[in-house]
């Protein structure tokens, strides 16, 4: 299905559309999707989890999209790349642009799956285990411009060490390097995605790289878009530092329930999270889960500093 925000335009501009990949998990509506760019070259940015790959394929078929030239993977986490094997079965002409250090995990995803189960638990089971793909289907990100001369590939570690962002056709596909962004009613909700191991300096440098690009439409992996990338990235950079201050103040010796106390404090003090109160209970549960994981990244970083 094509995702539309009530009262706003269909998310389509420069032949670039966001397709929601519906999940069978309460609270996960409008959370996972793929960006699809149609033109002389047809692109799909991220393909979602294994258990919902068929939904993305069906959506593309309804769009009469019979050819996919390239799949751009922002990173190899299972909610972004888990459905790759099934997707390539239906679009065998496609080639996958991935961080060169991530390709081996696409070929043999056993360690990736094991780590995902430890971190995500039941959510990982709902996403489903990824299957391996043939290495010849993958293009290391360092070689991508030899295939697509107008594609700009930016290494943006922070959310993950192998994270990439892409600029193409006046669209900045930022994955989670610019945070997670959701329109809620008439408000914007912006949240960092900083799971362990988190390195603040790397994350800030990645945001600075994206801010140095020309201002363009920013397309988030989770879940939506905004017309002014620099404005949103400047706002996000300030939020990253705000989280550090809030979490650092909560880290008193011998404190109990530190993670959830930090989550509650952030919800109270971070104005970019104020739309949380208007989310339904299942969505709030999802956001608390991922906020807690992001807080753990900060705590680990601050303890090692």
- List per-residue pLDDT tens for the chain, 305 residues long: 334 333 333 334 458 999 999 999 999 999 999 999 999 899 999 999 999 999 999 999 999 999 999 999 999 999 999 999 999 999 999 999 999 999 999 999 999 999 999 999 999 999 999 999 999 999 999 999 999 989 999 999 999 999 999 999 999 999 999 999 999 988 999 999 999 999 999 999 999 999 999 899 999 999 999 999 999 999 999 999 999 999 999 987 666 789 999 999 999 999 999 999 999 999 999 999 999 999 999 999 999 97
Task: Name the pairing type of β-strands 43-45 and 33-37.
Answer: antiparallel
CB 130 within 8 A of CB 158: no
Domain count along the chain:
1
The answer to whether residue 54 sits within a structural domain is yes
Positive or negative, the CA dihedral 52, 73, 211, 35 is: negative
The answer to whether residue 1 sits within a structural domain is no
The answer to whether residue 119 sits within a structural domain is yes
Q: Residue 293, SS3?
A: helix
The answer to whether residue 5 sits within a structural domain is no
Instruction: Report the C-alpha gap between 175 and 83 in whole angstroms.
Output: 16
The answer to whether residue 6 sits within a structural domain is no
The answer to whether residue 297 sits within a structural domain is yes
DSSP state letters, 120-187: HTHHHHHH-------GGGEEEGGGHHHH-TT-EEEE--SSSTT-EEEEETTEEEEETTT-EEEEETTE
Instruction: Report the C-alpha gap between 12 and 36 in whole angstroms.
Output: 9
Task: Measure CA of the first residue to CA of the last residue in the chain; give whole Å.
Answer: 45
- pLDDT at residue 15, rounded to an integer: 85
Q: Residue 78, SS3?
A: helix
Instruction: Report the C-alpha gap between 184 and 273 in whole angstroms.
Output: 10
Question: pTM of whole model > 0.75?
Answer: yes
The answer to whether residue 7 sits within a structural domain is no
CB 221 within 8 A of CB 175: yes
Strand partners for 16: 13, 37
Measuring CA to CA, how many Å separate 215 from each of 68, 167, 170, 172, 226? 27, 11, 9, 9, 11
Return the CATH number at 133: 3.60.15.10
| Rg for the chain, CA atoms, rounded | 18
Query: Domain span at residue 227?
Result: 12-304
The answer to whether residue 101 sits within a structural domain is yes
């Amino acid at each position: 299905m094509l995702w539309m925000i009530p009262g706003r335009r269909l998310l389509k501009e420069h032949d670039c559309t966001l397709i929601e990949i519906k999940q069978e998990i309460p609270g996960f509506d409008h959370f996972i999707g793929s960006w699809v760019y149609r033109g002389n070259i047809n692109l799909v940015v991220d393909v979602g989890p294994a258990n919902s790959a068929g939904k993305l394929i069906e959506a593309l078929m309804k769009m009469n999209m019979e050819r996919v030239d390239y799949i751009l993977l922002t990173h190899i986490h299972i909610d972004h790349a888990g459905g790759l094997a099934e997707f390539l079965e239906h679009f065998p002409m496609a080639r996958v642009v991935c961080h060169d250090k991530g390709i081996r995990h696409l070929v043999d995803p056993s360690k990736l799956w094991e780590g995902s189960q430890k971190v995500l638990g039941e959510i990982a089971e709902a996403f489903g285990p990824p299957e391996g793909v043939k290495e010849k289907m993958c293009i290391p990100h360092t070689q991508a411009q030899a295939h697509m001369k107008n594609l700009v590939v930016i290494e943006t570690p922070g959310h993950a060490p192998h994270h990439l962002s892409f600029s193409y056709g006046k669209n900045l596909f930022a994955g989670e390097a610019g945070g997670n962004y959701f329109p809620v009613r008439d408000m914007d909700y912006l949240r960092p995605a900083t799971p362990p191991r988190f390195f603040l300096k790397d994350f800030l440098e990645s945001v600075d790289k994206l801010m140095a690009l020309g201002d363009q439409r920013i397309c988030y992996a989770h879940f939506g878009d905004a017309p002014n990338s620099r404005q949103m990235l400047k706002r996000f950079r300030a939020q990253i530092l705000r989280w550090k201050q809030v979490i650092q103040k909560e880290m008193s010796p011998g404190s109990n329930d530190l993670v959830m106390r930090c989550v509650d404090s952030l919800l109270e003090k971070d104005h970019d999270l104020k739309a949380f109160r208007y989310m339904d209970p299942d969505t709030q549960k999802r956001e608390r889960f991922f906020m807690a994981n992001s807080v753990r990244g900060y705590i680990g970083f601050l303890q090692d500093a």
